[in-house]
Chains A and B, each alone.
Chain A
Protein backbone atom coordinates (compact mmCIF):
# COMPACT_ATOMS: atom_id res chain seq x y z
CA UNK A 1 0.00 0.00 0.00
CA UNK A 2 2.83 2.41 0.83
CA UNK A 3 4.39 1.84 -2.58
CA UNK A 4 1.17 2.91 -4.27
CA UNK A 5 1.41 6.20 -2.41
CA UNK A 6 4.64 7.76 -3.68
CA UNK A 7 6.69 5.02 -2.04
CA UNK A 8 5.90 6.41 1.36
CA UNK A 9 8.45 5.29 3.94
CA UNK A 10 7.50 3.47 7.13
CA UNK A 11 8.82 6.45 9.08
CA UNK A 12 6.61 8.85 7.12
CA UNK A 13 3.53 6.69 7.53
CA UNK A 14 4.25 6.33 11.24
CA UNK A 15 4.56 10.07 11.58
CA UNK A 16 1.29 10.68 9.69
CA UNK A 17 -0.59 8.00 11.62
CA UNK A 18 0.87 9.07 14.97
CA UNK A 19 2.55 5.82 15.92
CA UNK A 20 6.06 4.37 15.95
CA UNK A 21 7.80 2.84 12.94
CA UNK A 22 7.93 -0.47 14.81
CA UNK A 23 4.12 -0.53 14.96
CA UNK A 24 3.95 0.03 11.19
CA UNK A 25 6.38 -2.88 10.72
CA UNK A 26 4.23 -5.07 13.01
CA UNK A 27 1.08 -4.08 11.07
CA UNK A 28 2.69 -4.88 7.73
CA UNK A 29 3.77 -8.28 9.03
CA UNK A 30 0.27 -8.98 10.41
CA UNK A 31 1.71 -9.23 13.89
CA UNK A 32 -0.40 -6.55 15.48
CA UNK A 33 -4.12 -5.81 15.36
CA UNK A 34 -4.54 -2.04 15.65
CA UNK A 35 -7.22 -0.22 17.58
CA UNK A 36 -10.07 1.25 15.53
CA UNK A 37 -8.57 4.69 16.07
CA UNK A 38 -5.14 3.75 14.74
CA UNK A 39 -6.71 1.88 11.82
CA UNK A 40 -8.63 5.03 10.87
CA UNK A 41 -5.50 7.15 11.22
CA UNK A 42 -3.51 4.82 8.93
CA UNK A 43 -6.33 4.86 6.35
CA UNK A 44 -6.46 8.65 6.62
CA UNK A 45 -2.70 8.84 6.06
CA UNK A 46 -3.25 7.05 2.75
CA UNK A 47 -6.38 9.09 2.00
CA UNK A 48 -8.49 5.99 1.43
CA UNK A 49 -11.42 4.32 3.25
CA UNK A 50 -10.61 2.01 6.14
CA UNK A 51 -11.64 -1.19 4.33
CA UNK A 52 -9.10 -0.54 1.59
CA UNK A 53 -6.29 -0.89 4.12
CA UNK A 54 -7.68 -3.37 6.63
CA UNK A 55 -9.83 -6.41 6.02
CA UNK A 56 -11.52 -8.44 8.70
CA UNK A 57 -11.01 -12.18 8.82
CA UNK A 58 -12.55 -14.19 11.63
CA UNK A 59 -10.68 -17.00 13.39
CA UNK A 60 -11.89 -19.55 10.80
CA UNK A 61 -10.45 -17.39 8.02
CA UNK A 62 -13.80 -16.60 6.43
Chain B
Protein backbone atom coordinates (compact mmCIF):
# COMPACT_ATOMS: atom_id res chain seq x y z
CA UNK B 1 0.00 0.00 0.00
CA UNK B 2 1.34 3.43 -0.98
CA UNK B 3 1.92 5.91 1.88
CA UNK B 4 -0.75 8.24 0.50
CA UNK B 5 -3.17 5.34 0.17
CA UNK B 6 -2.58 4.41 3.82
CA UNK B 7 -3.21 7.97 4.97
CA UNK B 8 -6.38 8.14 2.87
CA UNK B 9 -7.60 4.95 4.49
CA UNK B 10 -6.90 6.31 8.00
CA UNK B 11 -8.64 9.61 7.14
CA UNK B 12 -11.61 7.73 5.74
CA UNK B 13 -11.97 5.56 8.84
CA UNK B 14 -11.55 8.56 11.19
CA UNK B 15 -14.12 10.51 9.16
CA UNK B 16 -16.59 7.64 9.31
CA UNK B 17 -16.12 7.24 13.08
CA UNK B 18 -16.60 10.97 13.56
CA UNK B 19 -19.78 10.90 11.49
CA UNK B 20 -21.17 7.96 13.47
CA UNK B 21 -20.31 9.67 16.77
CA UNK B 22 -22.08 12.86 15.68
CA UNK B 23 -25.16 10.95 14.54
CA UNK B 24 -25.25 8.94 17.79
CA UNK B 25 -24.94 12.15 19.86
CA UNK B 26 -27.71 13.79 17.84
CA UNK B 27 -30.01 10.78 18.19
CA UNK B 28 -29.23 10.44 21.92
CA UNK B 29 -30.05 14.09 22.54
CA UNK B 30 -33.17 13.74 20.47
CA UNK B 31 -33.15 17.33 19.32
CA UNK B 32 -30.90 19.44 17.16
CA UNK B 33 -31.03 22.38 19.60
CA UNK B 34 -29.32 20.20 22.23
CA UNK B 35 -26.06 21.50 20.81
CA UNK B 36 -27.00 24.99 21.97
CA UNK B 37 -28.35 24.00 25.39
CA UNK B 38 -25.56 21.70 26.50
CA UNK B 39 -22.27 23.61 27.08
CA UNK B 40 -20.24 20.37 27.02
CA UNK B 41 -21.66 19.45 23.65
CA UNK B 42 -20.88 22.95 22.37
CA UNK B 43 -17.32 22.57 23.57
CA UNK B 44 -16.96 19.21 21.82
CA UNK B 45 -18.39 20.77 18.66
CA UNK B 46 -15.89 23.65 18.77
CA UNK B 47 -13.06 21.19 19.33
CA UNK B 48 -14.19 19.23 16.27
CA UNK B 49 -14.55 22.41 14.21
CA UNK B 50 -11.02 23.54 15.00
CA UNK B 51 -9.35 20.16 15.47
CA UNK B 52 -10.41 18.36 12.30
CA UNK B 53 -9.17 20.98 9.79
CA UNK B 54 -5.96 21.37 11.81
CA UNK B 55 -5.23 17.63 11.87
CA UNK B 56 -6.21 17.39 8.21
CA UNK B 57 -3.86 20.21 7.22
CA UNK B 58 -0.98 18.75 9.21
CA UNK B 59 -1.50 15.27 7.73
CA UNK B 60 -1.78 16.55 4.15
CA UNK B 61 1.26 18.78 4.54
CA UNK B 62 3.34 16.04 6.11
CA UNK B 63 2.44 13.69 3.26
CA UNK B 64 2.99 16.11 0.42
CA UNK B 65 6.29 17.42 1.73
CA UNK B 66 8.09 14.10 1.45
CA UNK B 67 9.08 13.49 -2.18
CA UNK B 68 9.71 9.78 -1.55
CA UNK B 69 6.16 9.36 -0.25
CA UNK B 70 4.24 11.09 -3.01
CA UNK B 71 5.24 10.89 -6.66
CA UNK B 72 3.69 11.83 -10.01
CA UNK B 73 1.30 8.86 -9.96
CA UNK B 74 0.04 9.86 -6.51
CA UNK B 75 -0.37 13.46 -7.65
CA UNK B 76 -2.55 12.33 -10.55
CA UNK B 77 -4.75 10.48 -8.08
CA UNK B 78 -4.87 13.50 -5.75
CA UNK B 79 -6.04 15.71 -8.64
CA UNK B 80 -8.92 13.35 -9.37
CA UNK B 81 -9.77 13.11 -5.66
CA UNK B 82 -9.96 16.90 -5.39
CA UNK B 83 -12.59 16.91 -8.14
CA UNK B 84 -14.62 14.32 -6.21
CA UNK B 85 -14.18 16.38 -3.02
CA UNK B 86 -15.36 19.57 -4.72
CA UNK B 87 -18.47 17.84 -6.10
CA UNK B 88 -19.30 16.32 -2.71
CA UNK B 89 -19.00 19.70 -0.98
CA UNK B 90 -21.26 21.40 -3.54
CA UNK B 91 -23.80 18.58 -3.28
CA UNK B 92 -23.81 18.79 0.55
CA UNK B 93 -24.43 22.54 0.46
CA UNK B 94 -27.20 22.11 -2.12
CA UNK B 95 -28.92 19.49 0.09
CA UNK B 96 -28.65 21.72 3.18
CA UNK B 97 -29.93 24.77 1.30
CA UNK B 98 -32.95 23.01 -0.18
CA UNK B 99 -33.79 21.13 3.05
CA UNK B 100 -33.55 24.17 5.34
CA UNK B 101 -35.40 26.42 2.91
CA UNK B 102 -38.27 23.99 2.64
CA UNK B 103 -38.44 23.13 6.37
CA UNK B 104 -38.19 26.71 7.69
CA UNK B 105 -39.95 28.53 4.84
CA UNK B 106 -42.92 29.53 7.02
CA UNK B 107 -40.81 30.76 9.94
CA UNK B 108 -38.64 32.87 7.66
CA UNK B 109 -35.52 32.06 9.72
CA UNK B 110 -33.24 29.13 10.42
CA UNK B 111 -31.99 28.19 13.94
CA UNK B 112 -28.39 29.26 14.51
CA UNK B 113 -27.39 25.68 15.42
CA UNK B 114 -27.53 24.78 11.76
CA UNK B 115 -24.55 27.01 11.04
CA UNK B 116 -22.31 24.64 13.00
CA UNK B 117 -24.01 21.58 11.61
CA UNK B 118 -23.63 22.78 8.03
CA UNK B 119 -19.96 23.55 8.59
CA UNK B 120 -19.24 20.30 10.42
CA UNK B 121 -21.07 18.13 7.92
CA UNK B 122 -19.40 19.86 4.96
CA UNK B 123 -16.01 19.43 6.61
CA UNK B 124 -16.60 15.75 7.28
CA UNK B 125 -18.03 15.10 3.81
CA UNK B 126 -15.11 16.95 2.26
CA UNK B 127 -12.56 14.83 4.16
CA UNK B 128 -14.45 11.61 3.43
CA UNK B 129 -14.84 12.43 -0.27
CA UNK B 130 -11.15 13.29 -0.62
CA UNK B 131 -10.05 10.09 1.09
CA UNK B 132 -12.59 8.04 -0.81
CA UNK B 133 -11.48 9.64 -4.09
CA UNK B 134 -7.87 8.70 -3.36
CA UNK B 135 -8.81 5.10 -2.48
CA UNK B 136 -10.94 4.76 -5.64
CA UNK B 137 -8.13 6.36 -7.67
CA UNK B 138 -5.65 3.70 -6.51
CA UNK B 139 -8.19 0.96 -7.07
CA UNK B 140 -8.89 2.20 -10.60
CA UNK B 141 -5.22 2.64 -11.44
CA UNK B 142 -4.35 -0.83 -10.17
CA UNK B 143 -7.24 -2.31 -12.11
CA UNK B 144 -7.09 -0.45 -15.41
CA UNK B 145 -3.63 1.06 -15.36
Interface residues of A (CB under 8 A from B): 14-15, 18-20, 22-23, 26, 29-35, 37-38
Contacts and interface: CB of A to CB of B under 8 A. Distances in A.
Contacts, number: 43
B68 A15 contact: yes
A34 B69 CA distance: 17
Contact of B72 (A14, A30, A31, A34): A34
Contacts of B72: 19, 23, 34-35, 37-38
Interface of B: 1-3, 5, 67-74, 141-142, 144-145
A22 B73 contact: yes
B2 A30 contact: no
A12 B68 CA distance: 12
A38 B1 CA distance: 20
19 contacts: A18-B68, A18-B71, A20-B2, A20-B3, A20-B69, A20-B74, A22-B1, A23-B71, A23-B74, A26-B141, A26-B142, A29-B145, A31-B141, A31-B142, A32-B141, A33-B145, A34-B72, A37-B72, A38-B72
Contact of A31 (B67, B71, B145): B145
B137 to A, nearest CB: 12
Contacts of B145: 26, 29-33
Nearest to B145: A31
A34 B144 CA distance: 15
